[in-house]
Amino acid sequence: MNIKQEYLTQEKFKELETELESLKTVKRKEVADALEYAKSLGDLSENQEYQEARDSQAILEDRINRLEVILKSAKIVSTQSTHLVTVGSVISVEKESDKSRKSYTMVGSEEADANLGKISMHSPLGLAAIGKSKGESFSFETPNGIMSYKIIDIK
């Protein structure tokens, strides 16, 4: 399995640890109870509740495994540079085509949420902006063509 380095804030790391603990203790027991109940209903080959409980168990175990891998490989981001764009930086960028401005927080893929202005460092914009400094321009390819931005500020 190829483990990709995951960048997390301390808050997100704690949030994922809490989720993992809850999944391993509370949710696993709920799924096990549902499986036992479904088994008690008889013939497993035609038992829809049993199939659904098995599916829930598979989804739960996949999420537990994913969280364990993320937490093991996580690098906690604490200090940000105000000179270069790094994970954790809040950047203000200006689109060169129409001079519109937006601010984004650079985060790891687990924390990305475009609606909250949190973009993944692995996204096209994130990859292009990482390592750049204030005043520097950068471009990246999108399905709609090449996008060009200028970094206005880094916090």
Any domain includes 72: yes
Give the DSSP letter of residue 80.
-
Please check whether residue 84 lies inside any domain of the structure. no
| Domain housing 114 | 90-154
Q: Are 95 and 151 in contact (CB under 8 A)?
A: no
Q: Domain holding 147: CATH number?
A: 3.10.50.30
**pLDDT > 70: percent of the chain:** 95
85 inside domain: no
* Mean pLDDT value of segment 72-81: 77
Q: Is the pLDDT of residue 1 over 90?
A: no
- What is the count of structural domains for the chain? 2
Mean pLDDT for the stretch of residues 78-95: 84
Split at pLDDT 50, 70, 90, the class of 129 is: very high
pLDDT at residue 2 is higher than 80: no
- Tell which residue, 3, 7, 2, 4, has the closest CA to residue 118: 7
